[in-house]
Amino acid sequence: MNARRLSMDANGVVRPSGYTRVHPSPGRRLVLLVHGYNNNFAEAGEGYFALRRNLDNLLRNCGIGDPARKHFQQEIWEFFWPGFQPLSYVSATGSARSFAESVASAPTYPLEVAKARSWVPNGLASYLNSVLPSEIFFIGHSLGCRVILETMARLTAPPHRIAISGFMLMAGAVPIHLLLESSTLFQNARRGGKRYCLYSWMDTVLGIAFPPGQIAAGEIPPYGLPVATGLVGIPSSLYDLRNNTSLGHGGYWKQSFFRGQSSYTDLVSQALGVTTDRSVAENELKEMGEAFRSREVPSRLVTLRALLGDDWLADMYQN
């Protein structure tokens, strides 16, 4: 059993990738991970792998046995979208880019915003409407949060099609003026059953780079500068739970809700639909948070045929 992956090409067509190339099963629950902009396949895959590994550690510490944890991981699918401009094709597919190439492609952010509000959510929603999972819970980071909210607006509403059990926005690169109660994006976001926002005033990317990038993308509020929901956790009326993580922009996949919060079990059971076998005391949760913060996430050799995380689930649940 390898990681479930969905990849979008430059034409907006979504296909399964990885060894098995299987599609999500119709009528089944799906948890979809969506990366932000300026991440290639390997870079996004590293973040997804860290989240999966930490989730498994958390569930194990909450008393969840191997069969249930394996079933939970099978519900998680990783979505890769073309959220950056490839400036060279020297590196093999699946290899991390050089620092210079990553920096050079960062100023293309306005182009990625245009993708995130148009053909990327169009293609993703079309695919999900054709696969027809029973319900979807979205977890996204940065501009991936915009992809999530735009995709939700395009999903066929129940009772005929897909239920949206909720979403978790991590460092959401979405202007708060587009999420006000009078906006279409707000009304569609309210379809989510449980709505979580992890934000941080310490996020210099959203605090400094986001406003000019958003203006360049043509999204200017009626007054003032654009402000990201992932910076301030606003509008509060949209979210069921908001948490100031004090993280920088890049630490969410590895830390996020694994950082010493007192609401771990609630977050896992309500947001992700996993029922814990036993309660965990608050002091234990704080200790777990410290452990997650400092734990080294095992790395995998990235090659053309074995991308990051492809086989770790099989290794873990081989018995």
pLDDT at 162: 84
pLDDT at 230: 96
**116/36 Cα distance (integer angstroms):** 10
What does the pLDDT average to over 102-129? Answer: 88
- Does position 275 have pLDDT exceeding 90, yes or no? no
**241/263 Cα distance (integer angstroms):** 10
Say if residues 146 and 201 touch (Cβ distance below 8 Å).
Answer: no
pLDDT at 20: 65
pLDDT at 60: 74
What does the pLDDT average to over 61-82? Answer: 83
pLDDT at 159: 59
The mean pLDDT value of the chain amounts to 78
Residue whose structure tokens are 């005033």: 201
What does the pLDDT average to over 220-241? Answer: 92
pLDDT at 99: 60
Q: Kindly give, in sequence order, each residue whose CB lies less than 8 Å from that of residue 87, ignoring residues fewer than 6 positions away.
A: 101, 104, 105
Confidence of residue 286 (pLDDT cuts 50, 70, 90): very low
141 - beta bridge partners? 170
CATH architecture for segment(s) 4-316: 3-Layer(aba) Sandwich (3.40)
Say if residues 74 and 133 touch (Cβ distance below 8 Å).
Answer: no
pLDDT at 4: 86
Cα first-last separation, the chain: 12
Helix locations, 79-192, DSSP H: 99-105, 109-116, 119-131, 143-154, 184-189
**35/139 Cα distance (integer angstroms):** 9
- In terms of pLDDT, which residue wins out, 304 or 201? 201
- Does position 207 have pLDDT exceeding 90, yes or no? yes
How far is C-alpha 242 from the geometric centre of its chain's CA atoms?
Answer: 16
Say if residues 56 and 10 touch (Cβ distance below 8 Å).
Answer: no
Nearest one of 55, 104, 68 to 84, comparing CA atoms: 104
- Tens digit of each residue's pLDDT (9 = 90 or more) over 14-23: 999 866 678 8
- Tens digit of each residue's pLDDT (9 = 90 or more) over 136-180: 999 999 999 999 999 998 987 665 678 898 899 999 999 999 999
